[in-house]
Amino acid sequence: MHVPYSYLDQQFAEVDTYLADIRDLVRSGDFTLGAAVGEFERRFAELCGLPYAVGVSSGTDALALSLEAVGVGPGDEVITTPNTFVATVGAIVMTGARPVFVDNNEDYTIDANLIEEAITDKTKAILPVHLTGIPADMPAIMDIANRHGVSVIEDAAQAILASIDGKHVGSWGQTAGFSLHPLKNLNVWGDGGVIVTRSAELAERLKLMRNHGLADRDTVELYGQNSRLDSLQAVVGNRLISETHPITNGRIANAKRYDDGLADLGAYIKIPTRQPGVKQVFHTYVIQVSDRNGLLNHLEAQGIEAKVHYPIPMHLQKASDYLGYKSGDFPVCERHCGTILSLPVHQHLSPEQVDWAIGQVREYYSNKSGG
Amino acid sequence: MNIPFVNLAAQHAPIKTEVMAAVERVLDHGQFILGNEVDEFEYRFADLCGTANAVGVNSGTDALILALRALEVGPGDEVITVSNSFVASTGCIALVGASPVFVDVREDYNMDPGLIEEAITERTKAILLVHLTGRPADMDPIMDISRKHGLYLIEDSAQAVGAEYKGKRVGSFGDIGCFSLHPLKTLNACGDGGVLTTNDSSLYEELKILRNLGLRDRDDCVAWGLNSRLDTLQAAILLVKLGYVDEWTDKRRAHALFYQNMLRDLPQIKCPEEESYERSVYHTFVVQAHNREALRKYLSSKNIGTAVHYPIPIHLHKAAATLGYGVGSFPATERQAGKILSLPVYPELQADQLEYVVSNLRNFYQQAGT
């Protein structure tokens, strides 16, 4: 049985409505910050329970623009975690600031207990990542940030609709950046991103910053980027956004099925942690396994597309050389990098496909224990 | 008669079926990020410009930012450019942390080569010239100066796809050429897009890494880059339009020639006149008009759309306040800003529409008696 990691082909099963929308857009020529973008922003803000959303060209830009909007720039430090996608760190560097890493928890998000010792008089912001769709420990992080007078920008790229005690990710920090990349839970058909905020002032500033700093066609308030969510992508987003809850519920159900099927393999496998009151949306279903490469090969041979998010932590990337970190600096993250494995968990998987994947994981370890 | 300044619907009506088929082909393979259409577009765009390589990115602005990044222009450096441009050509310099230094323009609206050398200091790292309105800047003297002083040369060719200087296409002169594929450009995506050109293979490799978050492959990050990729969907649409761009440019040039011939005797209007060494693609057809504001209102009352590119020179915007320029710093730019007017010149205009524009221009000055 084939258990694919990507599901985009299934998204196109009923593609005619999308194409009709795109045809209308092409006919209208309303390609740049058009009506579709305004509609998507309104609906995205509503989905997050916040007053403002600003569509930008990628999740990376959502973070970089957010950091700049709260005043992060050259000479500043931004605290984040080395266990993330490169865009988190790239966004910090784009602003001219210096990334400062803090190790993560067993749940793959930043360890709030280690943040305070990383704060210096140059620290301007904390950038927690809701990796895999698990919210970072936002109550603790906000408490630290408030005590030290630093901003919090949430990297919510993987975590739309995740929440803590009913409070959505994106509603804790000054702003949050979401990605609409084709492989995200809520996706478009190219690059795209969104920033959410409860601050009218930040929303206005971000709208200037994403559009050349133009207050109107002829007035340049500040030097800004060109980072606009394409109307074409907003058209796709406006179709898919209605599906966000069913998509999320499908992933949560598949994750639960994996949990139930793998929980008793504790000798070989550690399933994702669960916390009461925390809604995890399973952008990825990440387990820690023994003999990862053997398992990866076995799954691949059985048609199951497993992946590793991510094999090399950010502090050990070549691009980080100038930061002066070394192997051993972040033991939890480094240990995870050697043992983590992502099983396909997307909403289009059938129970049979998930069961097949579970069965193959079980078979691999039963063969091992058997001899 | 109604003549809007831009009419994207008219551009797309005859090619809608082809555009939608291109969109569907992308859906069939699902490679939305850096798919094959991006490679093919890059290959064909490089061919169009006569360069070895092209790199598709998210916008013309990002093309400029990435060019500066690839040439390691940053804090402490100065970049010489013009104040008579869209804000992006200066914004990109500020965004990489360098200082923009302006020089004035000539009557062709492009950088005056005679003023460049006095603007060079020991901090000058690059010249970022703009081929404004679709006309090539005067490249020979600019190339000489950049070589003599060891300065990088970046061509902002956002408005000038296919424009030629002495038979050579823009984007192929400097270290890097930067193009916009914005919906209002002569070669346009249905959204934001940009592309860089270069003959330097190491710059090419660097740019490909920098536009994709510094990733050399899925897992290895060798530099902190941007996320600035031309969407596959847009590349597929652009491949359709590449088949038409020569025809569209020819039409723009024919419209321009019509305006030039029909307005040459009118003393209140100064049309752009092509030099023998250049081939303009007329992204905009910018005249200098006596009594411009009244003329604009009059044309608007006749349902003729016009625009001003650009009414406020970049050095006089609030964003430039810290650069220390003021009114009078660039007399040619400032004088032009008060007189320039862009007439509709897009390919889909019909002969009777062009005649209507011309006759209303003439009527205005006859009635005004000026």
- Chain B partners within 8 Å of A214 (Cβ): 87
Helix (H) or strand (E) holding B159: none
Do A268 and A127 have their domain in common? Answer: no
**Confidence (pLDDT) at A370:** 54
Q: In 10 A of CB B280, how many CB atoms?
A: 25
CB within 8 Å of B71: residues ≥ 6 apart = B125, B126, B152, B154, B175, B176, B203
The pLDDT of residue A6 is 82
Pick the residue of A7, A12, A14, A26 with the most B CBs within 10 A to test the interface with B by mutation: A26
Facing A213 at nearest CB: one of B182, B232, B319: B319
CB B78 within 8 A of CB B123: yes
CATH at A314: 3.90.1150.10
Judgement on whether residues A127 and A158 belong to the same structural domain of the protein: yes
Which 8-state DSSP code applies to residue A273?
A: P
Percent of chain B with pLDDT over 70: 99
| Residues A321 and A197 reside in one and the same domain | no
Tokens representing B49 are 């410009």
Q: In the predicted model, is pLDDT for residue A92 greater than 80?
A: yes
Contact A226 B58 (CB under 8 A): yes
The CA radius of gyration of chain A, in Å to the nearest whole number, is 21
> How many structural domains is chain A composed of?
2
Instruction: Quote the pLDDT of residue B370.
Output: 55
**Backbone CA torsion sign across B43, B49, B54, B56:** negative
Give the pLDDT band of residue B369 (cuts 50, 70, 90): low
Closest to B95 (Cβ–Cβ): which among A181, A219, A225? A225
pLDDT in tens, B316-367: 999 999 999 999 999 999 999 999 999 999 999 999 999 999 999 999 999 8
Average confidence score pLDDT of chain A: 95
Could you tell me which residues come within 8 angstroms of residue B183 by beta carbon, excluding any fewer than 6 positions away?
A29, A31, A32, B8, B189, B190, B191
Is residue A40 domain-shared with residue A164, that is, in the same domain? yes
pLDDT in tens, B212-268: 999 999 899 999 999 999 999 999 999 999 999 999 999 999 999 999 999 999 999
**Between A and B, how many CB-CB pairs are < 8 A?**
178
pLDDT for A13: 72
A310 cis-preceded (ω within 30 degrees of 0): yes
Q: Which of A31, A90, A190 sits opposite B232 (nearest CB)?
A: A190
Minimum-distance CB partner of B23 among A22, A231, A317: A22
Within a domain: A161: yes
A306 and A221: one domain? no
Per-domain boundaries in chain B = 8-242, 245-368
The answer to whether A29 contacts B8, with C-beta atoms less than 8 Å apart, is yes
Q: Using 50, 70 and 90 to split pLDDT, how confident is the model at A7?
A: confident
Confidence band, pLDDT 50/70/90 cuts, at residue B118: very high
The answer on A237 and A260 residing in a single domain is no
Classify residue A72: in a domain, yes or no: yes
Calculated CA dihedral for residues A85, A89, A95, A96, nearest 10 degrees: -150
Domain containing A180 — which CATH number?
Answer: 3.40.640.10
Give contacts of B220 with chain A, Cβ < 8 Å: 312, 317-318
Average pLDDT value for chain B: 97
Q: How far apart are CA A53 and CA B182, in angstroms?
A: 23
Q: Which of A226, A314, A319 sits opposite B88 (nearest CB)?
A: A226
Q: So what's the pLDDT on residue A1?
A: 86
Closest CA to A309 of A67, A157, A83, A41: A83
Q: Are residues A254 and A165 in the same domain?
A: no
Tell me which chain A residue has its CA closest to the CA of residue B309. A218
| Cβ <8 Å between A27 and B319 | no
Same domain, yes or no, for A238 and A120?
yes
Instruction: Report the residue of B224, B231, B296, B308 to disrupt the A interface, i.e. the one with the largest count of A CBs within 10 Å.
Output: B224
Report the residue of chain A nearest B95, measured CA to CA: A223
Report if residue A265 sits inside a domain: yes
- Is the CB of residue B86 less than 8 Å from the CB of residue B158? yes
Shortest distance, CA B16 to any CA of chain A (angstroms): 7
The CB density around residue B21, as the number of other CB atoms within 10 Å, is 11
Q: Which helix (H) or strand (E) holds B354?
A: helix B351-368
pLDDT at A61: 98
Chain B residues closer than 8 Å to A29 by CB: 7-9, 11-12, 183
Mean of pLDDT values over B199-209: 98
pLDDT tens digits, one per residue of B75-110 = 999 999 999 999 999 999 999 999 999 999 999 999
Out of A74, A86, A212, closest to residue B213 by CB? A86
Please give the Cα distance from B207 to B321 (Å, whole number).
32
Asked if A90 and B213 come within 8 Å (Cβ–Cβ), the reply is yes
Give the integer Cα–Cα distance in Å for A103 and A77.
16
Q: Which residues of B touch A222 (CB under 8 A)?
A: 318-319
Minimal Cβ distance to A29: which of B12, B20, B26: B12
A62 touches chain B (CB under 8 A): no
Q: Do A189 and B312 touch (CB under 8 A)?
A: no
Lowest mean pLDDT among A25-29, A150-154, A207-211, B137-141: A25-29
Full residue range of the structural domain in which residue A329 is found: 244-370
Distance CA A161, CA A245 (A): 8
Q: Among B7, B77, B221, which would you mutate to test the A interface (most chain A Cβ atoms within 10 Å of its Cβ)?
A: B221
- Percent of chain A topping pLDDT 70: 99
**What is the model's pLDDT at position A280?**
98
Residue A2 covered by a domain? no
Residue of chain B whose Cα is closest to the Cα of A14: B27
Q: Which of B318, B208, B364 is nearest to A219 (CA)?
A: B318
Contact B227 A222 (CB under 8 A): no
Q: Which residue of B has its CA nearest to A232?
A: B191
Q: Which of B28, B31, B73, B226 to mutate to test the interface with A (most CBs of A within 10 A)?
A: B226
| CATH number at B245-368 | 3.90.1150.10
Put simply, the answer to whether A226 touches B60 (Cβ < 8 Å) is: yes
The verdict on A274 touching B (C-beta cutoff 8 Å) is no
Of B19, B58, B213, the CB nearest to A26: B19
Band the pLDDT of A371: cuts 50, 70, 90: very low
Whole-number pLDDT of residue B281: 98
The correct CATH number of B8-242 out of 3.40.50.300, 3.40.190.10, 3.10.105.10, 3.40.640.10 is 3.40.640.10
Residue A14 shares a structural domain with residue A55: yes
> Is the CB of residue A216 less than 8 Å away from at least one CB of chain B?
no
Residue A213 and residue A249 in one domain: no
Q: Do A98 and A24 belong to one domain?
A: yes
Contact B227 A232 (CB under 8 A): no
Asked whether the beta carbons of A345 and A284 are under 8 A apart, the reply is: yes
Calpha distance A43→A241 (Å, rounded)? 8
Q: Are residues A81 and A182 in the same domain?
A: yes
Bridge partners, B215 (sequence order) = B221
Residue B97's pLDDT is what? 95
Q: Percentage of chain B surpassing pLDDT 90? A: 98
Helix (H, G, I), strand (E, B) or coil at B341: strand
pLDDT single digits (tens) A268-306: 999 999 999 999 999 999 999 999 999 999 999 999 999
